[in-house]
A and B are shown apart, each in its own frame.
Chain A
Amino acid sequence: MQFTASKQTENCLLGPESDSQRTLYPYVTGTSVVALKYKDGILMAADMGGSYGSTLRYKSVERMKPIGKHSLLGASGEISDFQEILKYLDELILYDNMWDDGNSLGPKEVHNYLTRVMYNRRNKFNPLWNSLVLGGVKRGEKYLGTVSMIGVNFEDNHVATGFGNHLARPILRQEWHENLSFEDGVKLLEKCMRVLLYRDRSAINKLQIAKITEEGVTISQPYSLKTYWEFSAFENPTQGAVGSW
């Protein structure tokens, strides 16, 4: 007979100590990543912020990294999980290079590998708390895909994570077209990032834009966007609102 309520009865799916072994909530997080296909390859943008809850704590976090010769990975969500993923991919690329046989993993292969990893972790109730954007060019073919923390994956001409889905994708749906030039692509991404800067509270004004083409990866130096706060609607924002003072 049991007189003491045990943790077991509340949480029958897993053992008593296992909660400390799996991810329950994210701690240091990155916000949106936005990416699009352009004439020569893929352009991707992400700011350099790492938030600790509501505090904008870290301001020099690189959330985009090159993977092998042909791919670029951008991540939002838990930064430590992103670092873990980079370790997995490092090992994957290393073994791929060790074959030394003229074959190499392209962006499609890396994307599918990541999908398998994310989905399998989700099935074990221990997710990697990230939304990933994987872009690349191999043999002239451009590839852009995304994977979420529950393993949802798809490819498209433009993708975004987090708030970017709600604020940037509509802009891209209107203004993206095939064969954008580099300058137009950057302008379009900056437009999206500016909206995110105004409206996403975890965005900071320090971003990088990364480009991947057949030649390789270039990640820009961090820079900031010009913003305008003198709109009359921003002065006295609660004027006329019901129940405010």
Chain B
Amino acid sequence: MSAPMPFWRAAGMTYITYSNICANLVRNCLKEPHKAEALNREKVHFAISTWKDGKAEKPVIRSDLAED
């Protein structure tokens, strides 16, 4: 694609990835109580299950919360 495009798209990045990187960088530059709140707000915990031949395989859990 030779149309004029932002440097991040030329490098293969999508807009959502770019936007999330920008947001993370801004969050990391905040003053203390706000920084901890912001990083805490963005923590995620979810399970991904792939299905094969009509049967669910073991789900993979991705989490930013501390493992207890």
Q: Do chains A and B stick together as partners?
A: no
